[in-house]
Copies of this chain bind each other. A is one copy, B any other.
Amino acid sequence: MIKVGIVGSSGYVAGELIRCLVHHPNVELDFLYSHSNAGKSVSDIHKDLIEFSELKFTEIINPLADIIFLCTGHGNSSKFLSENKLSDNTKIIDLSNDFRVNNDKFVYGLVEHNRELIKKSNYVANPGCFATAIQLGLIPLASINSLNEDVHINAITGSTGAGQSLSETSHFTWRNNNISVYKAFQHQHIPEIKQTIQSLQNDFNSELNLIPVRGNFTRGIFTTIYTKSSLSETEIVDLYNDYYKEEPFVFISKNQIDLKQVVNTNNCIIQVQRIDDKVLVTSIIDNLLKGAAGSAIQNMNLMFGLEEATGLKYKGSYH
C-alpha cells in the first residue's frame, strides 16, 4: 500500500483527494495535515465523509510517507518545502502553481503530454484547472504545428475553483443566477499553456486570448476555443480521434456536448468542428477531478507504476 500524506487537508481540492483516495485500492492515508483543524474528524469539515469519521486531521507530518500531495495554495508550497525536510524517497505532487513553469525539479504533470517523464519523476507539478481543459483542447493542433493564428478562448468555471474562502463573489446571494468576468487576458494559467504548446510547436507565437468567466454553478469548466485554420473538417476530427485514441480519460464527441457530461468524473470530453474558416474546439472537465485531484491521482498512479486509471473510474453525476 502506498502511504499518502496530504498537506492543507481542509480545502476543497484536498477534500476531493480524500474522497477519491478512501476508495483507491492501493492507497493508505498516512496523515492529513491541517494546522487549523488538527484533532478534528475529517467529516467535521468534509461533511459527506461521515462514514470515515475515524479519520482525523493532524498537525504532524510524516517525512517518510511514500508520497505527499501539497494542497496549500499558491505560494505556500515552496514555503512548505523550505521549512520541512522530507525523506529523499518521498514523492511529491504539488497542486499549486509554484512549480509549473520553467522548473528543473518538478515535471509538469499533464499526463496526456508528459506521461513518460511523469513515470520516471518523483516531483510533479499538477496542472491548473483552466490549463488542463485548454491544453487538452489545443495540443493535437500544436503537435502538427497548426497553431498559426490567434487563439480565442472563453472558459466558464464553477465556484469551487475559487476555493472555500468567503468573499463577495463567492456569496450565494451575489453569485446565484449571476455571471461575471475576471482577469481577462491575464489569467495566471496562460504561461503554463504556452509552455506546453511551445514544447510541441516551437515557433508558436500567436496570441492566447483567454476570458475567464465566473459561472453560477459549483463544479466544472466549460471552454470554447477557436482559431483560423486551413485544415479540413475530416483532418481535424481524425487528428483529435487519433491523438487521444489510447487515452483512458479523454473522449472525442461527435455530438454537441454539455458541461454535466463530465461532472464527478475524471473525464475530459472534447468536440471539434470546422465552421467557416475556423476550428472550434469545445472542451469540458470537472475542475476538482480532471482539473485537480483526479489528475493528481492519475499522476500518482504513473509514478508508482500502477495502471493509470486505478481508482479513477467514478460514477458520474449527470443529473
Does A184 touch B at the CB level, under 8 Å? yes
B167–A258 contact, CB under 8 A? no
Interface window among A2-10, A60-68, A81-89, A217-225: A217-225
Does A131 touch B at the CB level, under 8 Å? no
Tell me how many chains of this kind the complex includes: 4
Q: Which residue of B lies closest to A311 (CB)?
A: B315
Q: Which residue of B lies closest to A186 (CB)?
A: B275
Known A47-B258, A185-B280, A261-B48; contact A171-B170, beta-carbon cutoff 8 A: yes
A176–B152 contact, CB under 8 A? no
Known A172-B159, A280-B185; contact A222-B256, beta-carbon cutoff 8 A: no
Residues on the B chain within 8 Å of A184, using CB: 224, 226, 273, 275, 280
Known A48-B260, A170-B171, A172-B175; contact A23-B181, beta-carbon cutoff 8 A: no
A317–B23 contact, CB under 8 A? no
Chain B min CB distance to A319 (Å):
5
Residues on the B chain within 8 Å of A47, using CB: 255, 257-258, 261, 318
Known A23-B313, A276-B185; contact A259-B180, beta-carbon cutoff 8 A: yes
